[in-house]
Amino acid sequence: MAELHYWGGCTFRARYPKDIENHIDLLKMLGYEVKVLNDEGCCGYPLILAGEGEAAKKVAELTAKKLHGAEQLVTECPGCYRVFKDEYPKMGFQTPEVHHLSQILSKHLEGIGNFAKENVSYHDPCDLGRLGGDYESPRKVLRNFANIVEPIATKGQANCCGAGGLMLIVAPELSIRIAETKIENDFEPIGTEKLITACPSCLFNLSVAASRRESSGKSIQVMDLASYVYGRLKKDG
């Protein structure tokens, strides 16, 4: 049985603990032995975004020590994923081999079964897509369960959900309004009813924005990628 260390990340832990449970249960369902840190902490990404390089380095040093001995690390937070993969080595810290959860799932779920295909749309998180270079892994996962209806602006042309770069913390109302504009321009014109994303910050912003847009008669359900997959496997697998 292969061993994976799972990293939830601050946003999933604070806002979506049930999704963390789903992620871990899904990995176990696929045959992994999942290890979880009891005192996970923060990867340091917000400090990097805020320009607090020295503070970020201290957090990175502490986190790297916690992860010492782990061979493979998986997270569904694209920000954490990219920081571990790209920023920690720049700061001189060694990390385990890092995977976004969609990358693990894409290797295991291809051709997994004959699932009824529903129409869904997918939003590319900035840190996984434009900054991380991976547009295909989440789509490869979704194609096992759904027909993907691409938004008006997609992949490299996709706009941020509004939560990136500390915007949700610094200017929360503007951040949500950006997400509302994205839903209005990119998803409502194509008739999206179910919207999947693979980032907790995108999940939050798009969920709030979709709720606000319901007053215009549009109803869009926003879901976490791995939780969507876990639900389909439990229901139809």
- DSSP-assigned states of every residue in 119-164: EEEEE--TTTTTTT--SHHHHHHHTTTEEE---SS-GGGPPP-S-G
How many domains is the chain partitioned into structurally?
2
pLDDT of residue 111: 75
pLDDT of 14 over the 70 cut: yes
| Domain shared by 99 and 168, yes or no | no
Q: Over the stretch 65-123, which tens digit does the pLDDT of each residue have?
A: 999 999 999 999 999 999 999 999 999 999 999 999 999 999 999 877 778 899 999 99
Name the pLDDT band for 237 (thresholds 50, 70, 90): low
User: Looking at 72, 104, 136, which one is the last position of a domain?
Assistant: 104
pLDDT of 31 over the 70 cut: yes
| Domain shared by 80 and 123, yes or no | no
| Domain shared by 85 and 148, yes or no | no
pLDDT of residue 60: 98
| Domain shared by 89 and 146, yes or no | no
| Domain shared by 122 and 231, yes or no | yes
Other C-beta atoms closer than 10 Å to the C-beta of 174 total 11
| Domain shared by 164 and 182, yes or no | yes
Across the range 128-139, mean pLDDT stands at: 97
Three-state DSSP state, 228: helix
pLDDT of 57 over the 90 cut: yes
The boundaries of the domain holding residue 120 are 113-236
Of residues 236 and 43, more confidently modeled: 43
Supply 206's token pair: 């798009």
pLDDT of residue 35: 97
| Domain shared by 78 and 142, yes or no | no
pLDDT of residue 15: 98
Listed as own residue / partner, the contacts of 41-44 with beta carbons closer than 8 Å and 24 or more positions apart are 41/66, 42/10, 43/7, 43/9, 43/10, 43/79, 43/80, 43/83, 43/84, 44/83, 44/87
Across the range 145-156, mean pLDDT stands at: 97
Q: What global pTM score does this model have?
A: 0.95
Pick the closest to residue 230 from 58, 76, 1 (CA basis). Answer: 76
Q: Over the stretch 156-213, which tens digit does the pLDDT of each residue have?
A: 999 999 999 999 999 999 999 999 999 999 999 999 999 999 999 999 999 999 999 9
Q: Over the stretch 223-236, which tens digit does the pLDDT of each residue have?
A: 999 999 999 999 87
